[in-house]
Amino acid sequence: MKTLIENDYLLLTPGPLSTSPTVRQAMDRDWCTWDEEYNEGVVTPIRQRLVELATATCPKDYTCVLMQGSGTFSVEAMLGSTIGPTDRLLVLANGVYGNRLAQIADCLRIDHVVHDSGELERPDLDRLDDELAQDESITHVVLVHGETTTGMINPLLPIAAMVKGHGRLLLVDSMSAFGGVPLDIAELGIDYLVSSANKCIQGVPGFGFVIGRKAHLEQTKGWARSLSLDLHAQWQDMEQGRGKWRFTSPTHVVRAFYQALMELEAEGGIAVRHARYSENQRRLVTGMDRLGFDCVLPAEYQGPIITGFHNPTHPDYDFGRFYAMLKEKGFVIYPGSVTGIDSFRIGTIGHVFPNDIDRLLLAIESSMYWA
């Protein structure tokens, strides 16, 4: 009899996040990377299901490529492999992860321009319209869906309509939102979307994935600026090898991810998961407001993934001490990262439920040693 191991604390961080005991238990055996039981029984169904989660309307136009490494490796694979040598990229940035897109473009020497709207603002649609109208050399636009710096959800619908209206390719870093926020990439016209195992699908860290439009991906052979992060080559191996990865795959992590996908389905799918995350976040904000904590973002920009709160200004308050007291009580929170704002963050995704948020609020109330 295997026993399910409970964790010492709940991770209220947006990745890695708290996973279910059954997801962790799924890692408890070894797999052969060239045997069909693994490739056709685990890898291929994962690729198919991810496409189906990304679009209900037109799955046949898209494919999914899994890539070793943390989420950033997949972002780098996407940018480095799908932007041609004479193409030009527009980066919409409003936080750490938007800036990272520009950093990757810099590092890979991809010709690019940055539209930075500031960490507390959404991209300016009129400005984007002008930028696309005036610079015909821009071929691709990339943005972050859920900006984990603040918890901002960027408005994909009007941005996608504008980018597609100008006939450009649209790439989305939906790392922290995919699986927890409903969307249909075919309906939106998104060409490539990237996410990873350890965010809203609720797997453990170790790989990411890119869901891309086949008709474009087919044209990108030889474009990759890296040997190992070559999306087209990985795609071809996965197709021809029926689930085979080019280099050693993180087998245990992949098997755990398969279990996480089953659990997402059992929960009722993305819409139901989104409702749970939203309820977690609503309870959190209501309770924190009662305790005197103010949110960093205006409510209309705030998504259900992670929420920033201003640190108390009391002279006796110290984040490190507050953090340690909460950890002692079984909850791990996250420091802030918004420039110039003294804040901390609490994630509401993962194997975390409204009653956990109620317990968290009691723990916070009893840890307010400065009040």
Ligand X SMILES: *Cc1c(COP(=O)(O)O)cnc(C)c1O
In 50-134, beta strands by DSSP E:
62-68, 89-93, 112-116
* Total number of residues shown for the chain: 371
Tokens of 36: 């069909």
- Which of 144, 153, 183, 224 is in the footprint of ligand X by CB under 6 A? 144
Residue 258 binds ligand X (CB under 6 A): no
Sequence-separated contacts (24+) of 21-26 with Cβ below 8 Å: 22/259, 22/263, 23/202, 23/203, 23/204, 23/256, 23/259, 23/260, 23/263, 23/351, 24/204, 24/256, 26/255, 26/256, 26/258, 26/259
Q: How far is the C-alpha of 332 from the C-alpha of 25, rounded, in Å? A: 22
Report, in Å, the least distance between residue 34 CB and ligand X.
27
Q: Which stretch binds ligand X (CB under 6 A): 171-179, 231-239, 259-267, 350-358?
A: 171-179
Q: Output 71 or 212, the one with its CB closest to ligand X.
A: 71
Q: Which stretch binds ligand X (CB under 6 A): 161-169, 173-181, 322-330, 358-366?
A: 173-181
Report, in Å, the least distance between residue 39 CB and ligand X.
25
Q: Output 206 or 243, the one with its CB closest to ligand X.
A: 206
Q: Which amino acid is at 20?
A: S
Residue 312 binds ligand X (CB under 6 A): no
Residue 246 burial by Cβ neighbours in a 10 Å radius (0-12, 13-18, 19+): middle
Q: Which stretch binds ligand X (CB under 6 A): 45-53, 70-78, 120-128, 332-340?
A: 70-78
3-state secondary structure of 173: strand
Report, in Å, the least distance between residue 160 CB and ligand X.
17
Phi, psi of 2 (to 5 degrees): -85, 140
Q: Output 12 or 132, the one with its CB closest to ligand X.
A: 12
Report, in Å, the least distance between residue 14 CB and ligand X.
6
Residue 257 binds ligand X (CB under 6 A): no
- Which of 173, 191, 230, 263 is in the footprint of ligand X by CB under 6 A? 173
Q: Count the neighbouring beta carbons within 10 Å of the beta carbon of residue 132.
A: 18
Residue 97 binds ligand X (CB under 6 A): yes
Query: What does the binding site for ligand X look like in residue numbers (CB under 6 A)?
Result: 14-15, 70-72, 75, 97, 144, 148, 173, 175-176, 196
